[in-house]
């Protein structure tokens, strides 16, 4: 049987037969505001607190201070975890920006992708270094959607995403990678990152009869017996909770 990593997201572990496969990469897909960052942070924080598994958060779209402040409202003290050498945040927004700048400067002399490829390579090196530094067992990349603005060319983008996901899969950590739908301008079935990962979890907001509800679905999880149904989840002061036995539009 595959060894499991307990996510620490109430109710989700039951959906996926006890946890996500250890050492693998799982993609969390959803539009803005569905709770992807909270999901990913909860996975890391519960790992640190409840499972003695340290974590790395790779931020592609928000600053460290902003992340720390946002997560404090759930009682997740990432600043302290960082101080205790149990957590590290990589601000990859900066790395990408520097790479972009370089790219512009060198554009005259070279038409190669070098600058951008280098930025992903460097990022992976930094992730590896930080994994060693805090002896991390869990890694989050939030969010691939940010890369899509930095790599407007679909071919470059694809190679960046493939490199990043494959590098993460090779590392001895369990990873959550978040992404958004729609940035490719493709149909739902054609999101290519899905083929590169071990599992796919979809988060969305549904509307029916004037009511909205948050719903989550495990679309794919190799090597696990999953509940494939769309089930409700909530976000409150304790973070995310999944209710696998509740109806989607029932009263809570
Ligand atoms: N303390 C809270 N209680 C309830 N909902 C919250 C709380 N904090 C944030 N949210 C909700 O979480 C969502 C944002 O989560 P976030 O993880 O940043 O989304 P994403 O990363 O998918 O854009 C918003 O819809 C917001 O309403
Ligand atoms: Mg986010």
pLDDT of residue 112: 45
When pLDDT is cut at 50, 70 and 90, the band that residue 108 belongs to is very low
Q: Measure 235 CA to ligand 1 centroid, in angstroms.
A: 7
Average pLDDT, the chain: 87
Share of the chain above pLDDT 90, in %: 66
pLDDT one-digit tens code per residue, 10-47: 999 999 999 999 999 999 999 999 999 999 999 999 99
Q: Whose CA is nearest to atom 12 of ligand 1?
A: 35
pLDDT at 242 over 80: yes
Q: Whose CA is nearest to atom 10 of ligand 1?
A: 235
175: which residues sit within 8 A by CB, 6+ positions away? Answer: 24, 25, 26, 138, 139, 140, 141, 168, 169
pLDDT one-digit tens code per residue, 227-236: 999 999 999 9
pLDDT of residue 95: 55
Q: Which ligand is nearest to the CA of 212?
A: 1
pLDDT one-digit tens code per residue, 176-218: 999 987 644 444 544 678 888 999 999 999 988 889 999 999 9
Q: Which ligand is nearest to the CA of 31?
A: 1
The distance from CA 98 to its chain's CA centroid, rounded to whole angstroms, is 23
Domains of the chain: 4-242 (3.40.50.300)
pLDDT of residue 101: 61
Distance CA(223)–CA(228), nearest Å, equals: 14
């Amino acid at each position: 049987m595959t060894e499991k990593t307990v996510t620490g997201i109430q109710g989700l572990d039951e959906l996926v037969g006890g946890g996500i496969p250890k050492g693998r990469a799982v993609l969390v897909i959803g539009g803005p505001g569905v709770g992807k960052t909270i999901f990913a942070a909860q996975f890391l924080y519960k790992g640190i607190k409840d499972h003695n598994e340290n974590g790395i958060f790779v931020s592609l779209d928000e600053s460290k201070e902003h992340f720390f402040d946002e997560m404090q409202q759930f009682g997740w003290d990432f600043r302290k975890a960082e101080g205790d050498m149990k957590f590290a945040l990589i601000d990859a927004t900066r790395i990408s920006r520097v790479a972009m700048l370089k790219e512009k400067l060198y554009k005259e002399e070279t038409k190669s992708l070098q600058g951008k490829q280098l930025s992903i390579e460097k990022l992976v090196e930094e992730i590896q270094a930080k994994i060693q530094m805090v002896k991390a067992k869990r890694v989050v990349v939030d969010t691939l959607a940010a890369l899509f603005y930095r790599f407007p060319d679909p071919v470059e983008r694809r190679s960046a995403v493939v490199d990043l996901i494959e590098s993460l899969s090779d590392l001895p950590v369990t990873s959550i990678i978040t992404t958004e739908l729609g940035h490719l301008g493709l149909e739902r079935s054609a999101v290519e990152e899905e083929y590169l990962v071990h599992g796919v979890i979809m988060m969305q907001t549904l509307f029916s009869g004037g009511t909205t509800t948050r719903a989550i679905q495990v679309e794919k999880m190799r090597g696990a017996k999953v509940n494939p149904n769309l089930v409700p989840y909530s976000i409150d002061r304790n973070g995310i909770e999944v209710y696998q036995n509740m109806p989607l539009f029932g009263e809570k």
